[in-house]
Amino acid sequence: MSTVILFGTESGNSEFVAGNVADGLPAVSRVEDLAQFPVADFSPDDLYLIICSTYGTGDPPASARPFMAALDREKPNMTGVRFAVFGLGDSSYFESYSRGSEVVAEKLATLGATRVGEYGRHDASGLDDASDLAVTWAENVLQSVEA
Amino acid sequence: MIWDPFDEKFIQDPFPTYRLLREEHPIYFNEQRNFFAVSRFDDVVEANRDWATYSSAQGVDLDNTGSIFFGEGNVVETDPPEHDLFRAVLKDHLTPTFVRVQEPDLIERVGAILEDLRGKTEVDLAETLCTRLPLEVVTGLLGIAPSDRAWVYRRFTDMFYRESGSVEIPESSLAAAREVRDMLARELAARRGSPRGDLLSAIAHGQMGDRPLTEVEQVGMSTLVIAAGISTTKNLLTNMFWYLARDPALRAGVEAAKAAAPAIIEEFLRFDSPIQNSMRIATREVEVHGRRIPKGARVVLVYGSANRDGARFEHPDRLDINRKVGKHMAFGGGVHLCIGAPLARLEAKVVLQHMLDKLPPFAMAGTPERSLKMNERGFEKLPVEFAAS
Amino acid sequence: MSDAASPSVAVVGSGPSGCYLAQVLRKTWPKAAICVIDRLPVPYGLIRYGVAPDHQGTKTVTRQFDRLFEREGVRFLGNVEVGKDLPLQALRDAFDAVVLATGLHGDRRLGVPGDDHPAVYGAGRVTRLANTHPDEAHDDVRLGRRVVVVGHGNVAIDVLRLIVKSDVDFLNSDVDDDALAAMMAEPVERIDIIGRSPVEAAKFDTAMVRELGRIEGVAFEWPDGPPAIPVDDGENRARVEALASLPTVGSGSARVTVAFRFGWSPARVEDCQGGLRVAFSGKDGETLQLDVDSAVTAVGFTERAGLDIARSEVEAPGADLPTGRLDARLYCTGWFRRGPRGTIPENRADARMVAEAVVTDLGRGEASLGRPGVEALPPDVLAKAVDFRGWKAIEAAEVGAARAGRLRRKIKERAHLLDIVRAGATNNREDPSS
């Protein structure tokens, strides 16, 4: 089983956090931009950690939009595919600040994939560091999957 | 004549006459010189605002300086819409940010002046500081080379020299103005081909709406910048130093309130305004305070009087550095509101904040020589004596 | 020494565009000598001085840039003004490639007579003041009791929000309280926010509108009548609905009233006894006059004549502006390249595009490479330069000086900033790697 991080970013924050999670977790084999990830490559053998921000009042970020469009077009069968989600956003813009990531998660679920682990969230208007939170979240997800 | 603006005695102390005008002749007609005068604050503000009735297009100087010196391109002597187009050439260069960014340079210049004053005992502040600083600033702004400054200064002094009591402009003034205009014409031509980022380049490439400024307009505008940028600030600074030299307690108060320098400068501007009046031409018959002003009449707006109007300012004849002045008429008002005001204020601020407390005690040494130009108030010579340090 | 695998590149401007571009270059060339220069002693440009001080979340984008300077060997050279301290040509002689990412700092005028009135303030100025920019002065801005904000973009809403917020609303921000106190020496009572777009075409984000509605003590008014909700779905409808849900006058005690007006173009600004009269015209020739104490204009940004590098003066005849190529080995990105439109993510995309052009051109092997980079800069420039460690010392000092309820207290005076850098440098004398 490989652990793959997929990120969806607007400003590079999610990419940055994704990189830091990869640095903190030796189990992670690669980090990919959702915009460049072929939806046909999803495999039930791997675990996908999706780190995704929110655009505007709840839309997926720029690099997630081609990914969402590809899912709609190709409708891959995602039965058995496991993914975990860490959503980034800013509550000063929007109360449900990580809605963008939820949209992605919901789409994957409707295609048959299973969300595992805790739904991680970071509010940019809060005082926590996103990368710290994300590393802890990723470790917890891995533990819960191995259990 | 109750008020002869050219009379030397009046020029030495105009304020009693102004009070008489405000109280008893708010719309005053001078038959010999053929002009009306508006002396109350509210009336001056209204006349400034109503450019359509009180036009600047036929000259704003009772002594005709403008039309003789500046010709076309004199933005001061235009009305909207032409005025707005002329002004637009200058305003993009003289932004608040641009002015603010000059402060470190100004502090250096003031430092250099201080160096030159070191060890001297008798000094004419009018020349060594009050003219030198705005001269350097304005020539720098325009892009005139430092080596040409002294030449510009001598011509400028000649341009604004007036004989006592005379309404005539001396031939030497006219000759000096011609020489300055020729020099500017050359400098502008040089920049038309290759701009240098200075104000002369901006003028050389200036657009009047959809056409370029003509050469004559460019020269006129550049001449105006020199005239408007130097003598006015010189007046402000000489006036301030005249008070500071005669009142050590005032000086101590100003030095102690460095952070309040901007507010203190507003009070100096109000109390002893560098520009005392400006003229307009009535474009229609108008009635003010029951007095009919005929169409075509020359109407003098007496800023120096408006700034001492008790209806607007409490204890108006008191110089109070703690006063919150608010709106005053030293920079005019309406569409012609002085475009150089931020620069003048910054120069005065730097002098008060970075120079005053570095000067030894000083007092007047002999009689200062007042400018006799009828619409200005300031000194041509301000001799002071520094205490030995 | 540098070569095609390791050229020397100078990026002028350490705002988001410059940093994003440096990011791509570093990823492509792990060993290249990359230097990011800024005229201020502190990095990050508009992130520090343009993003509103109460939008701290947006400012955290700098964390990814910190990494460039702290861990990936990109050099920061602050307090160096290209064009003033260092001629652009000297920089181009020292580096294989130079990228101009200097942005646009002038507030665009209204473009009507009287728009240079002293009480007309650009929104950029107001924001910079609230963000403690060294080049802005407290004395210069006095909003008075009645303000008109001209503009219908996010910048206009930012200014509006900064004006109407009370002290408690600024918790966990780094707003310059002294600047606010100077600007609002009198409490603002009424703000008209007005612009030429019709309500359904206004450019500000829905999220920004909803943020306004969450501020206590503000009542909203519709002098031209309540907004008509557009029939279409999507962002326009959501925006107008958000506007329509703002609390109106009479729904509680308000300390300030905000009136929204749409479809009005500025016509002229008149100096009035003690204030301004701003005249507008509607699309059918109607007129409106607002008598106010001050006007804040949020109608875009532009080059500043006489102060900044002018793009037209560095654009060679063969320039290809759409790809960011100005001249041989000279590039531009961000607002300097594309004009003053675009959020941080858009400038990220722009910087990545221009970085590709740099990589392509230098990798082609046509131009001779091997310029030494920083070492070739004049000693007086290097002596005055502030490095990233110097910035970190400033940051630590600002955080340390924070007042209660504030994240930091930014330092305004350049001299003070440089003193902190010098003091820090003395303490770190042994470390040669700065």
DSSP secondary structure string for all residues of B168-224: SPPHHHHHHHHHHHHHHHHHHHHHHHS--SSHHHHHHT-EETTEEPPHHHHHHHHHH
Which H or E element spans position C28? helix C16-28
The residues near C114 (Cβ < 8 Å, ≥ 6 apart) are B84, B335, C120, C268, C269, C270, C271
- Cα distance between residue C56 and residue B320, in whole Å: 45
- Cα distance between residue B152 and residue B158, in whole Å: 10
Closest residue of chain B to C134, computed from CA coordinates? B101
| B327 → closest Cβ in C140, C273, C307 | C273
Q: Which of A30-39, B206-215, C160-169, C372-381 has the lowest mean pLDDT?
A: B206-215
pLDDT confidence of residue B59: 86
Please say if the pLDDT value at position C252 is more than 70.
Answer: no
CA distance C397 to chain B (A): 25
CA distance C267 to chain A (A): 34
- Cα distance between residue C298 and residue C304, in whole Å: 16
Q: Which own/partner pairs from A126-132 qualify as long-range (CB within 8 Å, at least 24 positions apart)?
A: A126/A91, A127/C172, A129/C63, A130/A13, A130/A17, A130/A88, A130/C60, A130/C63, A131/A16, A131/A17, A131/A20, A131/A21, A131/C63
Please say if the pLDDT value at position C264 is more than 90.
Answer: yes
**Chain A residues near residue C58 by CB distance under 8 angstroms:** 90, 124
Q: With b meaning 16 or more CB within 10 Å and e meaning fewer, what string describes C87-110? A: ebeebbebbbbbbbbbbbbbbbbb
User: Which ranges in chain A belong to alpha helices (H)?
Assistant: 13-24, 65-74, 99-110, 130-146
pLDDT digits (tens, 9 = 90+) for A101-124: 999 999 999 999 999 999 999 988
Confidence of residue C251 (pLDDT cuts 50, 70, 90): low
CA distance A17 to chain C (A): 9
3-state SS class at B32: coil
Q: Do chains A and C touch (3 or more CB pairs under 8 A)?
A: yes
pLDDT confidence of residue C414: 94
pLDDT digits (tens, 9 = 90+) for C133-181: 999 988 789 999 999 999 999 999 999 999 999 999 999 999 999 999 9
Q: How, if at all, do strands A3-8 and A47-52 pair?
A: parallel
Please say if the pLDDT value at position B322 is more than 90.
Answer: yes
Q: With b meaning 16 or more CB within 10 Å and e meaning fewer, what string describes B111-138? A: eebeeebeeeeebbbbbbbbbbbbbbbb
Q: What number is the average pLDDT over the span B89-111?
A: 91
Q: Do A13 and C60 touch (CB under 8 A)?
A: yes
Q: Do C57 and A90 touch (CB under 8 A)?
A: yes
**Chain C residues near residue A90 by CB distance under 8 angstroms:** 55, 57-58
Closest residue of chain C to A18, computed from CA coordinates? C64
Please say if the pLDDT value at position C384 is more than 50.
Answer: yes
3-state SS class at C417: helix
pLDDT confidence of residue C434: 45
By the CB < 8 Å criterion, does B45 face chain C?
A: yes
Find the helix packing angle between C388-400 and C414-427, rounded to 10°: 110
State the pTM of this model. Answer: 0.92
Confidence of residue B164 (pLDDT cuts 50, 70, 90): low
**Chain C residues near residue A92 by CB distance under 8 angstroms:** 54-55, 57, 211
Q: Do A124 and C345 touch (CB under 8 A)?
A: no
CB A123 within 8 A of CB A130: no
B370 phi and psi angles, rounded to 5 deg: -75, 150
Q: Please name the amino acid found at residue C392.
A: K
CA distance A80 to chain C (A): 34
pLDDT confidence of residue C429: 61
Q: Hey, which bits of C293-338 come out as E strands?
A: 294-297, 301-302, 325-327, 330-332
Residue C217 region by backbone torsions, left for phi larger than 0, else alpha for psi between -120 and 50, else beta: left
Q: What tokens were used for C237?
A: 């409808």
pLDDT confidence of residue B68: 65
DSSP state of C54: T
- Cα distance between residue B190 and residue B184, in whole Å: 10
CA distance B92 to chain C (A): 7
pLDDT digits (tens, 9 = 90+) for C90-143: 999 999 999 999 999 999 999 999 999 999 999 999 999 999 999 998 878 999
- Cα distance between residue C333 and residue C353, in whole Å: 9
- Cα distance between residue B268 and residue C129, in whole Å: 28
Angle at C279 between CA B57 and CA C300, to 5 degrees: 105
Confidence of residue B113 (pLDDT cuts 50, 70, 90): very high
- Cα distance between residue C171 and residue B271, in whole Å: 44
**Chain C residues near residue B51 by CB distance under 8 angstroms:** none
- Of B129, B29, B64, B124, the closest CA to residue B374 belongs to B64
Sign of torsion over alpha carbons C156, C157, C161, C164: positive
Confidence of residue A97 (pLDDT cuts 50, 70, 90): confident
Say how many Å lie between the first and final Cα of chain C, rounded: 19
User: Distance of CA A35 to CAs A7, A49, A64, A67, A79, Å?
Assistant: 9, 15, 6, 6, 22
Please say if the pLDDT value at position B66 is more than 80.
Answer: no
B249 phi and psi angles, rounded to 5 deg: -65, -40
Q: What tokens were used for C341?
A: 């439109």
By the CB < 8 Å criterion, does B105 face chain C?
A: no
3-state SS class at B6: coil
Sign of torsion over alpha carbons C10, C15, C17, C19: positive
Angle at B19 between CA B15 and CA B20, to 5 degrees: 115
- Cα distance between residue B279 and residue B55, in whole Å: 9
Please say if the pLDDT value at position C1 is more than 60.
Answer: no
pLDDT digits (tens, 9 = 90+) for C345-383: 999 999 999 999 999 999 887 668 999 999 999 999 999
Sheet of strand C146-150, all strands in order from the earlier edge strand to the far edge = C120-122, C294-297, C146-150, C190-195, C256-262, C218-221
- Cα distance between residue B94 and residue C116, in whole Å: 9
User: How many residues comprise chain C?
Assistant: 434
Say how many CB pairs under 8 Å bridge A and C.
60
- Cα distance between residue C28 and residue C267, in whole Å: 51
Is omega for the bond preceding A76 within 30 degrees of 0, making it cis?
A: no
pLDDT digits (tens, 9 = 90+) for C17-52: 999 999 999 999 999 999 999 999 999 999 999 999
pLDDT digits (tens, 9 = 90+) for B248-296: 999 999 999 999 999 999 999 999 999 999 999 999 999 999 999 999 9
pLDDT digits (tens, 9 = 90+) for B92-102: 888 888 898 89
pLDDT digits (tens, 9 = 90+) for C294-326: 999 999 999 998 789 999 989 999 999 999 999
A71 phi and psi angles, rounded to 5 deg: -60, -40
Find the helix packing angle between B215-246 and B132-142, rounded to 10°: 160
Q: Which of A127-141, B69-83, C194-208, C370-384 has the lowest mean pLDDT?
A: B69-83
Q: What number is the average pLDDT over the span C243-260?
A: 87
Count how many Cα atoms sit within 13 Å of the Cα of residue C16 in the half-sphere of its side chain: 27
User: Distance of CA C333 to CAs B174, B191, C13, C316, Å?
Assistant: 53, 30, 10, 16
Please say if the pLDDT value at position B195 is more than 90.
Answer: no
- Of B260, B296, B261, B300, the closest CA to residue B279 belongs to B300
The residues near C125 (Cβ < 8 Å, ≥ 6 apart) are B96, B97, C107, C136, C140, C141
Q: What number is the average pLDDT over the span C172-198?
A: 96
Please say if the pLDDT value at position C290 is more than 70.
Answer: yes
Please say if the pLDDT value at position A50 is more than 60.
Answer: yes
- Of B95, B92, B187, the closest CA to residue B144 belongs to B187
Closest residue of chain C to A93, computed from CA coordinates? C207
Task: Find where tokens 């940019």 sit.
Answer: A124
User: Distance of CA A57 to CAs A60, A94, B319, Å?
Assistant: 10, 6, 58
